[in-house]
Structure 1
Amino acid sequence: MTDTVSFGYENIDASEKTGRVGEVFSNVARRYDLMNDAMSGGMHRLWKDRFVRRLKPRAGEQVLDMAGGTGDIAFRIQRSGAQVTVSDINADMLAVGMERAQKKGLTGLVWSEQNAETLTFSDRQFDAYTIAFGIRNVTHIQQALGEAHRVLKRGGRFFCLEFSTTLWPGFAEVYDAYSHHMVPKLGKLLANDADSYRYLIESIRRFPDMPTFEGMIGKAGFVRTQVEPLLGGLVAIHSGWKI
């Protein structure tokens, strides 16, 4: 039986997804901040600040920031004195992150090209695992969650920031119309690439809702799972602990 997964609104062979997602992010790597601004109206910066505050990183901790290529989350975490390994499957995204770190004069970050589904790190290596706006692009999400659990120490924590489905009456329809019609147009205007931005919006619509994804985190072995909806669930901070 063929293993099919979603790529936006398409269903494709699972073996194709990594390559096709890679093309999208290679295309948008240099315009990634603009992409996030277009998709969130600039609010992604506030969401990321809140996400890292919830993580409560501490000096000396080892943190794996997965799908963190451009460094947005890692730069925030590093301020705490934690040791951050920034991992991404896409070399172009990592290149942008390393360039940004150099411009900011930031040193001490570890940059590592990794597939979230098959991490090369040792068991129980990290105190915390973060992934922001990346889990929905993984081919086999449950496998990636299992790998997150594997590389965390006992007592380690998992934090995920991801778009979801807002439950606020009326707002869902407004955002749906904005994202489907305006974001691809902005992608064309800002990056001459409407298709990549269209995929990114469609991938949000295909991502599991908050209770379903929380259940997947629990299935991976995490306990004390929690969900914090933002804007009624347009974005959610998911968390869990390894014991």
Structure 2
Amino acid sequence: MSDSNPPDTSAPTGQEGQWFGFRPVDPAAKSGLVRAVFDSVAGKYDLMNDLMSGGIHRLWKDTLIDMVAPKAGMTLLDVAGGTGDIAFRFLNRGGGGVVVCDITESMVRVGRDRAIDRGILSGVDWVVGDAMRLPVAARTMDAYTIGFGLRNVTHIDEALAEARRVLKPGGRFFCLEFSHVVLPVLREIYDVYSFNVLPKLGRMVAGDEDSYRYLVESIRRFPEQNALVKRIEAAGFTSVRVRNLTGGIAAIHSGWRV
């Protein structure tokens, strides 16, 4: 196993803003650092997702949409959804309007271009905005999704509070995120792959090894599954559940807004 993987790397509850991967930072600077990462990788983001996961991220997103269960007239806010993967799935499954909100303008531009290429000219609004200060009115959305974005937020609890604010009573919250592997054998293989292979893949394909090293480190800093359940409940959601995917490499957390 790579010796760059400390035995305990998760950030204490509420202190994730003090870390950028394994590097301590001023919380006021973290959002800018995150934007710089995604500015750098935006053009290769979807290709790298396929290469890094062997395409499995597509199955995870399909599972997420199965849980969302889109219906005609149902509105979705997809946060950190810049390139449109979740939004397009929602529309293809019969959902109503989608607002895609991402903190990085270059990611939003990629998503808009992909929508045009697919002939999707209506039904999606593209917005640049922060998960902690969403440019969306209160109690207006039927569902909220955030895919592979919550771990990059400076203050997770503020983002969860915003998710509850924008949802209608009875609305659903869903978070798809890389998580903590629950199978010991898989964990060791995954650690070697993550720390030794992914940054090099980022250098070869996206020309950016450092950004992909950060993305690996940010996964290790993210709360483990049950800890995140408690924080979602503390934000005011009920019936909070977690569904592990691929042995916990990823997980979907869900809850109801009352």
Q: TM-score range by the shorter chain?
A: over 0.9
Cα distance in 2 between the residues matched to 1:3 and 1:42: 29
Runs of 5+ consecutive residues of structure 2 not aligned to the other structure: 1-14
Aligned to 1:36: 49
Aligned to 2:164: 149
Runs of 4+ in 1 over 6 A off after TM superposition: none
SS of match in other structure, 1:170: helix
2:95 alignment partner AA: G
1:1-243 to 2 correspondence within 5 Å?
5-79=18-92, 80-108=94-122, 109-243=124-258
Q: TM-score, normalised by structure 2?
A: 0.92
Shift of 1:94: 0.1
Runs of 5+ consecutive residues of structure 1 not aligned to the other structure: none
Shift of 1:4: 5.2
Cα distance in 2 between the residues matched to 1:176 and 1:17: 25
Identical amino acids, percent of aligned pairs: 52
Shift of 1:14: 0.2
Cα distance in 1 between the residues matched to 2:187 and 2:51: 17
* Alignment RMSD (CA, Å): 1.3
Cα distance in 1 between the residues matched to 2:212 and 2:20: 12
Cα distance in 1 between the residues matched to 2:17 and 2:179: 22
Question: Is the contact between residue 16 and residue 154 of structure 2 (CA under 8 Å) also seen in structure 1?
Answer: no
Question: Is the contact between residue 16 and residue 221 of structure 2 (CA under 8 Å) also seen in structure 1?
Answer: no
2:139 alignment partner AA: R
**Equivalent residues, number:** 242
Cα distance in 1 between the residues matched to 2:199 and 2:38: 15
Cα distance in 2 between the residues matched to 1:43 and 1:233: 13
SS of match in other structure, 1:57: coil
SS of match in other structure, 1:155: strand
